[in-house]
Structure formats: structure tokens, C-alpha cells
Amino acid sequence: MMNITPSSINQVNYSLKELQDIFSAMNSSIIVAITDRTGKITFVNDHFCKISKYTREELLGQDHRLLNSGFHPRTFFREMWKTIGKGEMWSGEICNRAKDGGLYWVKTTIFPFLDDSGKPYQYIAIRVDITAQKDIKKITHIAYHDELTGLPNRRKLEQRLENEFHQSRRTGEKFALFFIDVNRFKNINDGLGHIIGDMFLVEMANRLRNVDYTSNSIYRHNSDEFVLILNDVDRIEDKAGEIISVFNKSFIVETYEFYASISIGISIFPDHANSVEELLKNADIAMYAAKSSRGNQYRLYRSNMEEINDKWLLLETKLHQALKNDILELHYQPKIDLKTNSIIGMEALLRWHDPELGYMPPDHFIPFAEQCGLINDIGVWVIRKASAQARTWNDLHNLNLRVAVNISPIHISTTGFVEMVHEVIKETNIDPHFLEFEITEMSMLDYTEDLINTIKQLRALGITISLDDFGTGYSSLNYLKTFPVDVLKIDRAFVRDIVPEKSGIAMISAMISLAHALNLQVVAEGVEEEAELNVLREHGCEYVQGFYFSKPLSVEDFTKLIVNRTM
Ligand code: C2E
Ligand code: CA
Ligand code: CA
């Protein structure tokens, strides 16, 4: 093959005719065309005709743009013309379109021919067909990449792990595998639809890619599972922190804005595994442990995790069944009006007795239900059950009892919460004025506009909102003014401090005054002693709840209580 460089062409100064003869005589796979300075074709060799499927007559005199495929952005050719227009050689891969519409790829080098003043007066383009290579590249890309997110896929991950495994065996260097899983992805997918779910995953993949932009080590393992390979095991904690912090920002997908969180399980080779399979399995186990432990978003594998996970899985299954089979129960604790000493309402509290596990306290299984996503179904069940019960009691005994339901911050933040409540109200026919939602002060601390809006809508329906466990979250006064609430529930911890030797009395008194100044009603919870009651009454607290009056009671016992009290 001839060795042509721009300088050699210009130096030798062949006549156009001579060049054409040379190229015509070259019986190789090289594709050659010559155009004038405007791009009009003045010469093509046979191979050019063959690949473009145009006859020579159809091509000569035509603008070379005839072959444009539309594949490249306009800027691509603008750059090319800028280069050759200056008299410099240009080289690149171009996708052209043949006469029959088919696309073909050519590696192209264009040499400008310069006139005496140094300006190009014609261009020779020499091309080689690379279509086959391109297809192979494309096929390999598809095979090893995830279509939705563009990330390398599981197959590619397996390759990488094999390589890392052998390298680690050779060099003794460790590497870590992060198993990253979206918490409650099912809720996003089911609640907002698969299209939104997909768009969320794309955005999530982009964020993960940014965390890892230097090393190309993020893989999509499965629907909402991603894997990161980290060679620098000293950076495990930093990396986990970086990944988690990426989720501090809300996701905006179409018209939805929401937060998503993840759980990460990490295993190290060879510390935690002898094989690639085991490494993946143990990272998965650690991920599951991270998911079940509240507030711990990443976990390094430990050998007893499997056992713990089995327990969580058992718990999840059992809780699921308890809900399905109506084994969960609500007990009701009366709230007393201190002025009249009568029952004005009751708080519904979940009870779960499992035949094997025994009594499971709600402050154990509620956080777990929040983690595994069962809380939404449980929440709906509680609201429905409590509303129906309150309606029955009020109707049967001609009462005006208001039932208070504890609402999980996770549940109230789901889309469609207000609509669901509206449905339940219609279905159970309860007057919303007899319905109260208790939301903990803690969960209001990192409130969002959306949460405030939801609460406003609930209040507009007629539902009373109370701030539960008040005093434990250290709300500032300013916050309190912004929260659209009706009732403050003073936490038991403050009531317990009402003893002469502690400064609790001053504290309670301040809280009550504060609530009244903000036009809020006050409920003190966990009242056990008469002495506590007296102090509360003295300082103007209007409602109390606690063992002093009654423990939470079953439906049967609560019925007896109201019948006796009101008759
Ligand atoms: P909470 O909302 O602060 O409920 C009050 C807790 O204090 C209840 O515990 C109640 O039985 C207990 N208590 C009432 N009076 C006294 C008293 O005088 N002394 C003492 N020592 N304790 C008293 P329980 O029923 O074990 O519930 C614990 C927590 O579980 C609740 O705290 C609430 O956060 C959560 N929970 C209960 N039921 C539900 C529910 O249906 N949904 C949600 N999201 N959370 C619930
Ligand atoms: Ca409560
Ligand atoms: Ca409380």
C-alpha cells in the first residue's frame, strides 16, 4: 500500500490526472474520493461506488453531503471543515448512508491540497470500511451494559470480579464489594408507576456514576440493586458516606419530588469470602442487615449476620401474615378532661401477640415495619380500624369520643396519603372531627413543604393534629409557629420529672404556658401518680392520659369503661 502523507502529496505535486490514475490502479480495499474546495465530488474509485451503492455518474458533480447519514451532530462536520479549511489533515470515524439507505462506517482521513497561496483547492479523502468492527463494538456494548442506565451490567461485573479475584490471589491485595439497594423501591414503583420508577433509577445511576467518576466501578446488578467495586479498602467508610450523602438531595422526576434512601452491605475479599459467589452473597447479607437496623445505612459483613437476617426475615413474614390474617389488634387508652373528669377520647395503640414470638411491643416492630415497607399497609389498617371503632362507640353510646391514631412519618410522606384518609373517612362514615392524628415532634424536625401541605389538607378535612412526644425533639419556638398543629402532647419523660427534688415542675409549667400562648391544647401523657396529676391541674393542663386513670384497654374492656362511666 502506498504511504501517503499530506506533505508528500503536496511536495510531489502530482497532477490531478496522475493522482486519479494512481488511485484507480490501487486494487485495495481503500475507498477514495476527491472533492473540490466546496465539497463537490470530482473523483471516486471503484470501491467508493461499491460501498456507497451509487454509480460513478450519480456521484460526480454531486455535493459530498449526499452521503451524510444524520448520525453525527452538525458540530462534528463544522469541526472537520474548520481543520481542513485551514489546510490541515483531518482524521475520524464517519457514519455514511448508502444509496439503499444502509449505514456504513468508514475511518476517514482527509488531505487538503494547497494552492500557491497556501489555500486548499481540493481534498482527497481516503477511507477504510470499519462497519464490521463497529457492529462488534456495539454488540459487545449491548451485551455488557444495562440498557436503561447505561451502566455496565451483571455480566460485566462477573468478569470484573473474576479479574479482581485472580489479581488479589496473585498480589495479596484486598478489594471490597458494596451491595447497594434502594429502600422501599417497590413503593416508588407501585405508587408512582414503572415509568417514574425507571426514570428514578436512571437519575440514581447518574448520581452513583458521579461518586465513582474516576474508576468506572459501578454496576447495575438487578432492578434496584447496584454494585460498587473498591480497590482501596482503606476508603470503605469514606466511600459509603459519599454514596449515602448523594441521597440527601430529593429526586425530582416529572412532577414528583421525593426522597429515596439506600442500604449498603459491604464485604471484603479475601477477609469475608473464598470465592466471588461468596463475596456477593455476604455483601447481600450485610445489606439486609443494614436495612433491618434502623438508621444504619451501611454495614460491613460479620459472620453472625446470617442468623440475624433469618430472624428479620421471619419477623417480616410473620408481621405480614399478622396483618393479612387480622391478628393485629388495637387497644385504646382513654384521655381525660381534667375540668370535667370525663373521657373525651382515646389513643389507639397497636398490639401484636404472636403465638411463637410472644408479645411484640409496638416500639420494636413499628421501626422494623418502617424499614421493610410494611408500615404503609399497617398504617391504613390502623386508621380504618380505629375510625370504625370510634364510630361504633359514638353511635351506640351516644358519645363524642375523638380517637387518636399514631401516624408514622414515613407513611404520611407517601403520595396519596390524604386521598387514602379521605377514602377511609367515607368508607367508615366517621365524622373527621372525631379523628386525631399524632405525629411525633422528632419526625417534624426535618419537615418538608410537602409534609406541611399534607397536614394542612388533613386539618382542612376536620382532623385534629397533635405533636406527640413533645419536648424530646427540642423544637424551637419558631418551628412551633410554622407547624399547623392543634395539640401538644407533653412527653412522659417530663411528667416523670414532676417530683419536688427535680426541676420538672418549672419545665412543665413553661411548656403549658408556651402551648397556650400558641393557642394549642395540652395533653400530658404517662401520668401515673396523683402528685403528677395535681401539679398538671394546677398549671392549667387540660387533658391527661396515663396508667393513673387507665392502661390501654382491649375493645371489650374499653366498652365496659365507657358504659360504666357514662351510665
Ligand atoms: P406513644 O405514641 O408515645 O404511645 C404512648 C405509649 O406510652 C404507649 O406504649 C402506652 O402504652 C404507654 N403509656 C401510656 N400511659 C403510660 C403510663 O402511665 N406509664 C407508662 N410507663 N407508659 C404509658 P405502647 O403502646 O407500647 O406504644 C409505644 C409506641 O409505639 C407509641 O408511643 C407509638 O410511638 C408506637 N405505636 C403504637 N401504636 C402505633 C400505631 O398504631 N402506629 C404507629 N405508627 N405507631 C404506634
Ligand atoms: Ca402517641
Ligand atoms: Ca407519646
Domains of the chain: 6-134 (3.30.450.20), 137-303 (3.30.70.270), 326-566 (3.20.20.450)
What is the per-residue DSSP string for 236-298?
HHHHHHHHHHGGGSPEEETTEEE---EEEEEEEETTS-SSHHHHHHHHHHHHHHHHHSTT--E
Evaluate: CB of 334 within 6 angstroms of ligand 1: no
Evaluate: CB of 547 within 6 angstroms of ligand 1: yes
Residue nearest to atom 19 of ligand 1 (CA): 526
Evaluate: CB of 309 within 6 angstroms of ligand 1: no
Alpha-carbon dihedral 286, 287, 292, 298, rounded to 10 degrees: 90
The answer for 119, left when phi > 0, alpha when psi is -120 to 50, beta otherwise, is beta
Q: Nearest bound ligand to CA 378?
A: 1
More confident residue, 13 or 277: 277
Quote the ligand 3 centre to 468 CA distance (angstroms): 5
Q: How confident is the model at residue 9 (pLDDT cuts 50, 70, 90)?
A: very low
pLDDT digits (tens, 9 = 90+) for 38-91: 999 999 999 999 999 999 999 999 998 899 887 787 788 989 999 999 989 999
Facing residues of 419 across strands?
A: none
239-245: long-range pairs with CB below 8 Å, 24+: 239/178, 239/211, 240/178, 240/264, 240/266, 240/297, 240/298, 242/211, 243/178, 243/180, 243/208, 243/211, 243/298, 244/297, 244/298
Specify the pTM.
Answer: 0.57
* Interior/surface letters 385-398, b for 16+ CB within 10 angstroms, e for the rest: bbbbbbbebbeeee
> Cβ(124)–Cβ(111) under 8 Å?
yes
- Residue 295: what pLDDT? 56
Evaluate: CB of 409 within 6 angstroms of ligand 1: no
Evaluate: CB of 469 within 6 angstroms of ligand 1: yes
- Residue 269: what pLDDT? 96
pLDDT digits (tens, 9 = 90+) for 319-341: 988 988 889 999 999 999 999 99
The winner for highest mean pLDDT among 11-15, 286-290, 298-302, 544-548 is: 544-548
Evaluate: CB of 406 within 6 angstroms of ligand 1: yes
- Residue 293: what pLDDT? 67
Residue nearest to atom 12 of ligand 1 (CA): 526
Q: How confident is the model at residue 348 (pLDDT cuts 50, 70, 90)?
A: very high
Q: What value does the mean pLDDT take over residues 142-151? A: 87
- Residue 476: what pLDDT? 57
Grid coordinates of 473:
425533639
Q: Nearest bound ligand to CA 438?
A: 2
Q: What value does the mean pLDDT take over residues 522-536? A: 94
Which segments within 319-386 are labelled E, that is strand? Answer: 329-337, 342-354, 358-360
Evaluate: CB of 550 within 6 angstroms of ligand 1: no
d(CA 153, CA 142): 9
Quote the ligand 3 centre to 279 CA distance (angstroms): 43
Q: Nearest bound ligand to CA 443?
A: 1
Quote the ligand 1 centre to 349 CA distance (angstroms): 6
Evaluate: CB of 336 within 6 angstroms of ligand 1: no
For the CA of 362, the nearest atom of ligand 1: 30
Evaluate: CB of 491 within 6 angstroms of ligand 1: no
- Residue 10: what pLDDT? 45
d(CA 486, CA 438): 10
Q: How confident is the model at residue 160 (pLDDT cuts 50, 70, 90)?
A: very high
Residues near ion ligand 2 (CB < 5 Å) are 406, 438, 468
d(CA 333, CA 557): 10
* Interior/surface letters 456-495, b for 16+ CB within 10 angstroms, e for the rest: ebbbeeebbbbbbbbbebebeeeebeebebebbbbbbebb
Does the pLDDT of residue 522 top 70, yes or no? yes
Query: Which residue from 481, 409, 465, 407 is spatially nearest to 433, judged by alpha carbons?
Result: 465
d(CA 99, CA 186): 49
- Residue 283: what pLDDT? 94
Quote the ligand 3 centre to 552 CA distance (angstroms): 13
Mean predicted lDDT score pLDDT of the chain? 88
d(CA 52, CA 98): 4
Give the DSSP H/E element, type plus range, for residue 95.
strand 90-97
d(CA 306, CA 288): 9
Quote the ligand 3 centre to 489 CA distance (angstroms): 7
pLDDT digits (tens, 9 = 90+) for 202-230: 999 999 998 887 778 999 998 899 999 99
pLDDT digits (tens, 9 = 90+) for 368-418: 888 778 899 999 999 999 999 999 999 999 999 999 999 998 899 888 999
Sequence length of the chain is 567
